[in-house]
Structure 1
């Protein structure tokens, strides 16, 4: 008996090895991107700067004015722990801010492309409408040349009446 391989049903979703496996990676990447944007947005606020200033001021005051046994980062060591914390914050902040800027640049590029396409469509629509207006004007001018006005019609009718009168007079004189 020949062995047949079973074809997957086209209306059934793929297993874990297919496209469904890639979706969580994209979602995870997007989640991290949104986090980086939120982080960059928060760091750019006056609230963050005020909070950071208060944090550093409290840190410095605690480690300068408290008794030596309560100090955890003494001034004698030049506030090594504070320096380390601020350096660590800066080393994480810079790449996150750059990532947020790159995502914004990508969104701007897409928006610019959409604006360009919209402008091209608007230009094409405007040119089409301009051609239609010109065609309508030409049709109206052509039509107005063919239309009889009341005065022209009266003049033509009077001329015909005069011809008829002249024909009657000549016909009556000939009889």
Structure 2
């Protein structure tokens, strides 16, 4: 029966305990070693070590020599081979980490470039919209010129009206003189006039028969 994919697998028991190595810590150590091996100080230390090894095994006391010159310094050759065999993987590991770091940096640069491009396009569109809006807005000089034109038109109309009024006055001079007012009887004498008129009518009337 096939195992279910939604259930975790049981941990297998081993005779030897598993050693968990933190990848980041081991990578930092390998990068430190690779950086140190690529410095002039490492070359100086390696040269001094080899000179001391060769000098002691060549001119040192025979009883204390541990690497024979007759055999071509076999121990020194073995140590240098071991050093080279370990240094190569460490350098490759440091290069892989640097490659991953460069890849992440390139991705971040690409995303940053896309954001900058989008921001630039947005600002360009906003600037174009502002230019279009400003082209439709009346400027101070335009408003002043329009007000000046309106004032000139009003002045021309006023002068035309004044000239027309002067021409009408010259054609009809009697209209300019004030009209005489008619004499109006006083209001207080209306009753007396009525009485006198009534009395006159009564005097003109024929006498009544006796």
TM-score normalised per structure 2: 0.66
- Give the Å deviation of 1:96: 0.7
The aligned residue for residue 23 of structure 2 is 29
Partner SS, residue 142 of structure 2:
coil
Q: 2:131 aligns with which of 129, 137, 157?
A: 137
Q: Rg bigger for which structure?
A: 2
1:118 aligns with 2:124: no
Q: Deviations over 1:36-73 (max 9, x none)?
A: 00000000000000000000000000001112211111
Taking the aligned partners of 1:40 and 1:89, their CA distance within structure 2 comes to: 12
Q: 2:84 aligns with which of 76, 83, 90?
A: 90
- Paired residues in the alignment total 152
Contact residue 37 and residue 96 of structure 1 kept, 8 A: yes
The aligned residue for residue 80 of structure 1 is 74
CA RMSD of aligned residues (A): 2.2
Q: Which structure carries more helix by proportion?
A: 1
- Give the Å deviation of 1:120: 0.8
- Give the Å deviation of 1:115: 0.3
Contact residue 73 and residue 79 of structure 1 kept, 8 A: yes
Q: 2:149 aligns with which of 155, 169, 172?
A: 155
Q: What 5-or-longer segments of structure 1 have no aligned partner?
A: 1-16, 18-23
**Higher RCO structure (Cα 8 Å, ≥6 apart):** 1
TM-score normalised per structure 1: 0.79
Contact residue 68 and residue 74 of structure 1 kept, 8 A: no
Taking the aligned partners of 2:62 and 2:23, their CA distance within structure 1 comes to: 46
- Give the Å deviation of 1:137: 1.1
1:165 aligns with 2:166: no
